[in-house]
Homo-oligomer: A and B are copies of this chain.
């Protein structure tokens, strides 16, 4: 056995032991050391970089590590095996994907704007913001020798009188505390109830002088990022907001790799733990601290996520999702409780899951569709969710069709050598001077924050600017020289946005031809999906009235640049609307409003699904879209104009 030490830039270390020949990435996974591995250890993404600090590793050389870097000790963990005691540095650039949590500053109006908007919009459709949870105060006569009714019946009788309902259900957790709470408060209490038309469920009981806020939790479980809001179920106020990388990331960047990992022995539990124990529960902890709300006062949760994510969240075999005929275990379920999956809120809390409509169109899309409001307008709207999978919904108040395409993690910074989520240090916007080829960029975290990578909106800007400035050609290859354009020993070009000296990282923040190629395939998948779906309905892009863009790509997305690279159709820019994380705001509405929840089930069951791979022309569309902006430039007149005008 050899000792393997993982050292982090913040000075902390994790020690473990391994046998000669053991794979370093596997060892890291076993030791719960989060090393980013979007390709799940296939040596294709080049992200699992570690730096040898002492001892030795048996590592293969790959294109992802230059000779110079290799000499400096850089290795890919996935192609390194143990041959001695060893200490490796796990750099922060790799752990940018780590489950690093962020609780938002709610004093910023921007942070809560999408929820306010969602509330306003849904109310305008006549859907009420009401749910079945409420706090009811009851005062009972204390028992006497002549009135010996037991506690539970005394409470039930008082509640029945109050709400005129036949049946009162008091779960074990409440029964347990009831004798003490009643006697400590002279039989005057507040109850947290769920009251439906025929019965009443008592979630909790408090002394009548306690202030009781009913908490609710909406969570968007993205393949790459998990976001959540803690709300007041009474009025929908946002009490806290948080986000974190999905801890499952070390088991692969995309859903297919995750499913494969989950089928290994113990894998289902590992994947479930990674998202619940490592990601969501710590977020709940932080959010509740920030809001000053006990975790047990969260009585309902709503999860919106793609089908694979909600299966892995629930610890359910997801293998049938990836194999013909691609069958989920459930579209919706009404029988999931916090105690079932170990979510650290009130153990009797119901967990609502936004409904799936198939293996590749999940609850994130049905929840997002609710928020997009496209189902409430006569105009033809296109809803695009740019996640690790790209999903589209097109339609209006009469019909809706959905489809999904595999965009890969590029929009959230995956599969891109310097890619990262839109968190502190991410370059989110960029312009390039055509003459000097010098960039000007904006970094998340504000002035003074050093850049460490590129998030989705930053990548769109950089590629668009490189193309418009003639630095790269329609195939994404570098065609101009300059101090920021490098070529490695194999001739692969790259453009440096921030040199190592100015960056907050151990290497240049750059974009390579491989990155650009990956991104072109991602945007090509989206554009060809739009065209294919519209064609199948005999529609043309010119007939789109509005485009609602959602996803973690960042609110800074520059629609013109997205059109420039041929990701979105070349239609008037005012038709584009960025609606943020609609999966989360949709989960928020479903959580807050029972009628909105029902509406989402209705939308899901009315939505038709187009399997793109079954459309013969899809592949041709995709090939044509894998250029900047496209092989058919007549589809992008404004881009030609932009090139001419720069």
Contact yes or no, B148 A327, CB < 8 A: yes
B183 contacts A150, CB within 8 Å?
Answer: no
Interface residue A399 (Cβ < 8 Å from any Cβ of B)? no
Of residues 148 to 180 in A, which have CB atoms within 8 Å of B's CB atoms? 148-153, 169-173, 175-176, 178-180
Q: How far is the CB of A390 from chain B (nearest CB, A)?
A: 21
Instruction: Return the chain B residue nearest A180 by Cβ.
Output: B317
Residues of B within 8 A of A334 (CB): 169
Residues of chain B within 8 A of A541, CB atoms compared = none
Residue contact B329 to A179, C-beta cutoff 8 Å: yes
Contacts of A339 in B (CB 8 A): 339
Which of A329-361 touch B at CB < 8 Å? 329-331, 333-337, 339-341, 356, 358-359
User: What B residues does A180 contact at CB under 8 A?
Assistant: 317
CB of A270 to closest CB in B, whole Å: 15
Chain B residues whose C-beta falls within 8 Å of the C-beta of A175 in the assembled complex:
314, 316, 329-330, 333, 335-336
A73 in the interface (beta carbon within 8 A): no
A144, B144: Cα distance in complex, Å: 66
Cα(A324)–Cα(B170), bound, Å? 25
Chain A 314-330 against B: per-residue CB contact (8 Å), 1 yes, 0 no? 11110110001111111
**A645 to chain B: closest CB distance in Å?**
49
A143 within 8 A of B: yes
A537 interfacial by beta-carbon distance below 8 Å: no
What B residues does A179 contact at CB under 8 A? Answer: 316-317, 319-320, 329
A176-B315 contact in complex given A170-B335, A325-B145, C-beta closer than 8 Å: yes
- Kindly provide the distance from the CB of A260 to the nearest chain B CB, expressed in whole angstroms: 16
CB–CB B172/A331 < 8 A: no
Q: CB-CB < 8 A to A333: which residues of B?
A: 152, 170, 175
A316 — which chain B residues lie within 8 A by C-beta? Answer: 175-176, 178-179
Chain A positions 598-642 with a Cβ under 8 Å from a chain B Cβ: none
Please give, as numbers and ranges, the residues of chain B lying within 8 Å of A183 by CB-CB distance.
320
Query: Given A145-B324, A176-B315, A178-B329, do A335 and B171 touch, yes or no (CB 8 Å)?
Result: yes
Chosen A-B contacts, 30 in total, with CB atoms closer than 8 Å, are A143-B325, A143-B327, A145-B325, A145-B326, A148-B327, A148-B358, A149-B327, A150-B327, A150-B329, A150-B356, A151-B320, A151-B327, A151-B328, A152-B329, A152-B333, A153-B331, A169-B334, A170-B335, A172-B336, A172-B340, A173-B340, A175-B314, A175-B330, A175-B333, A178-B316, A178-B329, A179-B319, A179-B329, A180-B317, A339-B339
By a beta-carbon cutoff of 8 Å, the part of chain A in contact with chain B is 143-145, 147-153, 169-173, 175-176, 178-180, 183, 314-317, 319-320, 324-331, 333-337, 339-341, 356, 358-359
A-B contact sample (16 more), CB < 8 A, given A149-B327, A150-B328, A171-B335: A148-B326, A148-B359, A150-B331, A151-B320, A151-B328, A151-B330, A152-B330, A152-B331, A169-B334, A170-B333, A170-B335, A172-B336, A175-B314, A175-B330, A178-B329, A180-B317
